Amino acid sequence: MAKMEVKTSLLDDMIGVGDMVLLEPLNEDSFINNLKKRFDHNEVYTYIGSVVISINPYRSLPIYTPEKVEEYRNRNFYELSPHIFALSDEAYRSLRDQDKDQCILITGESGAGKTEASKLVMSYVAAVCGKGAEVNQVKEQLLQSNPVLEAFGNAKTVRNDNSSRFGKYMDIEFDFKGDPLGGVISNYLLEKSRVVKQPRGERNFHIFYQILSGASEEFLCKLKLERDFSRYNYLGLDSAKVNGVDDASNFRTVRNAMQIVGFMDHETQSVFEVVAAVLKLGNIEFKPESRANGLDESKIKDKNELKEICELTGIDQSVLERAFSFRTVEAKQEKVSTTLNVAQAYYARDALAKNLYSRLFSWLVTRINESIKAQTKVRKKVMGVLDIYGFEIFEDNSFEQFIINYCNEKLQQIFIELTLKEEQEEYIREGIEWTNIEYFNNAIICDLIENNQTGILAMLDEECLRPGTVTDDTFLEKLNQVCATHQHFESRMSKCSRFLNDTSLPHSCFRIQHYAGKVMYQVEGFVDKNNDLLYRDLSQAMWKANHSLIKALFPEGNPAKINLKRPPTAGSQFKASVATLMKNLQTKNPNYIRCIKPNDKKAAHIFNDALVCHQIRYLGLLENVRVRRAGYAFRQAYEPCLERYKMLCKQTWPHWRGPARAGVEVLFDELGIPEEEFSFGRSKIFIRNPRTLFKLEDLRKQRLEDLATLIEKIYRGWKCRTRFLLMKKSQIVIASWVRRYAQQKRYQKIKSSAIIVQSYIRGWKARKLLRELKHLKRCNEAATIIAAYWHGTQARGELRRLKEEARNKHAIAVIWACWLGYKARRELKRLKDEARRKHAVAVIWAYWLGLKVRREYRKFFRANAGRKIYEFTLQRLMQKYFLEMKKKMPSLSPIDKNWPARPYLFLDSTHKELKRIFHLWRCKKYRDQFTDQQKLIYEEKLEASELFKDKKALYPASVGQPFQGAYLEISENPKYKKLKDAVDEKIIIAEVVNKINRANGKATSRIFLLTKNNVLLADQKNGTIKSEVPLGDVTKVSMSSQNDGFFAVHLKEGSEAASKGDFLLSSDHLIEMATKLYRTTLSQTKQKLNIEISDEFLVQFKQDKVCVKFIQGSQKNGNIPTCKRKNNRLLEVAVP
């Protein structure tokens, strides 16, 4: 009999109903009871057609082993019990075999297990695709990207200990064989507000706690961190530790994952330095401090944290400190700097921390994409996995929850559209009539939020961009005006009277009826979070950091790339991202995993009916079942259907010879199933009512019992016959083996006897041959020994003869050598004696000769001969020195530094004194050549050098310019005749200057005249004298240290000239004017004029004192300084 192959199915040993499409009756209670029954038996997966419902068990289940992976590999979707691996395998095989791009959409509220579901999908795909070193490396990198992103993007919330606080969509790319080539990750709206503040009972992002718990002491020291969580204001202390979470071990996992993904060591170090800087930013605190103008400014309390942050990031401490204290606003040609009060400083600190962390996270995603992206440009197949925030309803819902819930509305919309579309396309493809079904379409809610004209996001952007005072309250007023009549919008401040007395809705909130239920949003913070404002001073400070990563995170801080255009708002950016995501999803074949949270306690074995019911409603699961059952509740391909039910018909059992569809038709006709209960499609059988399917299952079960009885009967008969035949065969085999054994024993005995006889004969012959060989060997050895003794005797005799002969020859040689030595030593002694005699004669002769000479020449020596020789020598050398100096004298130029080198050491002081005398003499000769006018010019230049050298940046440019004094010819110009007649003194300076207006800082041209007794200012057009000040009333001249021509002439208080205030002027010849004014005042009043050089000084304008401040300006106006009146107390001069 042919062996029957029995295949399992989701209908076998089913607990409850594995596919909700088959649930009977279909209502909310039966739906929940079925889920609960399966949940209690550890069946956490249930189907709605091709949609997988996943209930979070809050514990580990033994259903994800490698054996389970192999069990679901290459199996039909409905062939085994419901499992996430079945959906993953179906999506992978559709991509590999049918060349269809796939996407797996994982939805559900926070804590429902979406992140774990996405990891299970990726691990399954990695397990079933191809092998090889390169493929394994790609798979490992794709899988290891999860721990990195979870560490930096997940956090503990009240609903989930590992809640994703960002949206992630990963496109996994495959080649034509189905092997992974790489991937691309997109992230959406990181909840960066969590960096600076967390709700009670929640934690910051995991990475902060992992570093402090798992890093070594040496590494923490490098990051300037301490292990104590309470040291950091940004960490929530009430939930710093989580039961069952080992932060130290997770940190090691993250570092290992970063290494596998492809992060270099210096990149990893830079990332953790930025994380440490964010932590330490929260410890910077500010205190108020009053300024002279009455305004409050903020100051940092303890600069130690700021210093450590700057050391970590390479930022100049003064630059960052100023960025926390001032805000610069630039519009077109204007730049205004204002101080920050304490509240604004804290806002700036938190904004910097949030932006620093969120940009770091985006950089991490980009860096991971660089590592995991496909290296080939060939056409690729794509499987997308979407793990995004679940629907969130908290006690306090803000801008983040609004954006998250908007994204879930869009996902629900695409789920509805694609589910109905897929159902309709299948009916059309199979040739089955489509029955329409009513369902809730949430497009109206999406339009309420995203409409370009009247949507909430559009109203929020409009409110953020309009001029004037903008607050959260004005935004709510705008919503009440535009959205008051919308059926899904509720507000007590709107014109709709039905909410005026709704005390559950505060005046500062609005409520939206989402598909998941009503959510009340607190408008506080909507405008600020949508603007997402980071002061430009902080961006520029970050860009100036000596830290490559931080510099790359803030490109807008580059002064060369200043963009005055307002950046897009957070809401508009997220709206565009969601639109791109939806467009991407619509190009792929969707696969759905709907995650459900069984309870709010995050505990195993607890099933909260009310909570599950709420999730079933807002996920629209009942509507999904009704859509699947609108036409037919169950469908199956003909081959598996015939294979499962063929035993119910004699014609199809055990084998059907023909097309599978014909077999199913024969089967259903034989069973007498009414025609209205089923329809034949092109490739599938469609069953309308679940009762029909259950009837088939009951018939199959009964038939299987009958077949089991038949099989058992046949098996018993087969077993008895087989046993008899086996015993018969065994008897024949045993008899043949006995006869064989007896013959073998007889043969062995004969063989043994023959061997013994042969061995004795061979032994005798061998022993005889051995004796002969031993005798022959002894004879040969004796002959060899005798020959050796004979040859030895002969050799020893020859050796004795040779030794005797050698001893005789050696004795002769020794005697001869002794004789030669004796003879040589005797000759040497004779030669030494002769040499000593000759030396003695020479010495005696030398002594005698010296005595004789001294006796003859003693009469010629004198006591003062040495002194006379010294004086003569010194005189000769001095004469020679002066003659040489005469020939080598340098030129008469006072600036010529050449001077001949001294020839003798003892002339050093003389040489220096001669050089000094010569220089004084030639300087006098040079001065004698000047006229009186030239002497006056050089005296003024010398005075200018003493006053301004190394003090005024403008001075070096004036050194080469001669002082002219008269830059304006008064006497030759007819229009200045009146001015000439009014001035009867000698004019020292005549020049056109710019007089700065006291009211607005604008310049007016004036003629500046300096005489021996007065300073005059006259109109340039007609020469009318505007002001005349005696030199005695000029008390001080003030100017900046920079490269500008601005100066102030301060007048004596109480004088007549001081009634209008001091003069603030600008001249192209500032150095000359100030020098001449100084010399003239000294000449006339016998008092030195005070010259003050400072970048900030006070000027008396009538009754008010105004501060003139010089700052560094831009190059847009060229090299011309600009002057602006900032307020009643400040006049600002921008110097290029």
Compute how many other C-beta atoms are within 10 angstroms of the C-beta atom of residue 408.
Answer: 23
Exactly one of 88, 123, 163, 298 is catalytic; which is it?
Answer: 163
163 is catalytic: yes
Active site residue 164: yes
Contact by Cβ (8 Å): 590, 50: no
- Confirm if 687 and 693 have CB atoms less than 8 A apart: yes
Structure tokens at 153: 């993007």
- Annotation-wise, does 763 bind a ligand? no
Q: Find where tokens 């008895």 sit.
A: 720
Q: Is 111 annotated as a binding residue?
A: yes
User: For residue 11, what is the DSSP state?
Assistant: T
CA dihedral sign of residues 432, 436, 442, 447: positive
What is the SS3 assignment for 212?
helix
Q: From the CA atom positions of the chain, what is the Rg in Å?
A: 55
110 is in an annotated binding site: yes
Report the C-alpha gap between 16 and 46 in whole angstroms. 10
405 catalytic residue (yes or no): no
Interatomic CA distance for residues 491 and 479, integer angstroms: 9
Residue 867 exposure: Cα atoms within 13 Å on the Cβ side: 3
CA atoms within 13 A on the CB side of 339: 14
**Amino acid residing at 1100:** Q
Secondary structure of 850-861 in the HEC alphabet?
HHHHHHHHHHHC
Which residue among 49, 167, 183, 390 is the active-site one? Answer: 390
Residue 489 pairs with which residues in a beta bridge?
A: 512
Main-chain dihedrals φ then ψ at residue 461, nearest 5 degrees: -65, -40
Instruction: Please tell me the distance from the alpha carbon of residue 842 to that of residue 833, in angstroms, as a whole number.
Output: 15
Indicate if 390 belongs to the active site.
yes
Active site residue 115: yes
Beta strands in 111-264 (DSSP E): 154-155, 163-164, 167-174, 180-188
Using alpha carbons, select from 1031, 1070, 1026 the residue that is nearest to residue 1050.
1031
Residue type, 827: E
Sign of CA dihedral 707, 709, 714, 719: positive
The reply to whether 233 belongs to the active site is no
Torsion on CA atoms 129, 132, 137, 140, rounded to nearest 10: 40
The one catalytic residue among 50, 115, 213, 358: 115
180 close to 186: Cβ distance less than 8 angstroms: no
In this structure, are residues 1030 and 1013 in contact, taking their beta carbons and an 8 Å threshold? yes
Q: How far is CA 574 from the centre of its chain?
A: 21
Amino acid (1-letter code) at residue 752: S
Does 113 appear as a known binding residue? yes
For the question of residue 111 being annotated catalytic, the response is yes
CA–CA separation, 218 and 961 (whole Å): 63
Q: Consult the annotation and say whether 108 binds a ligand.
A: yes
Beta bridge partners of 184: 171
Phi, psi at 1127, each rounded to 5°: -160, -170
Q: Which residues, in sequence order, are bridge partners of residue 521?
A: 397, 510
Phi and psi, residue 319, nearest 5°: -65, -45
Q: Which of 281, 301, 310, 142 is nearest to 208 (CA)?
A: 281
Q: Is 50 among the residues known to form the active site? A: no
d(CA 319, CA 303): 13
Q: 117 with 54: CB under 8 angstroms?
A: yes
Residue 683 assigned as binding residue:
no
What is the distance between the terminal CA atoms of the chain, rounded to a whole angstrom?
A: 104
Could you say which of 81, 110, 405, 569 is catalytic? 110
> Which DSSP category does 514 fall into?
E
Catalytic choice (164, 494, 624, 1067): 164
Which residues make beta-bridge pairs with 288?
298
Catalytic residue, candidates 18, 111, 1023, 1045: 111
What residues are designated binding site? 108-115
Residues with catalytic function? 110-111, 115, 160, 163-164, 390, 392
What residues are designated binding site for ATP? 108-115
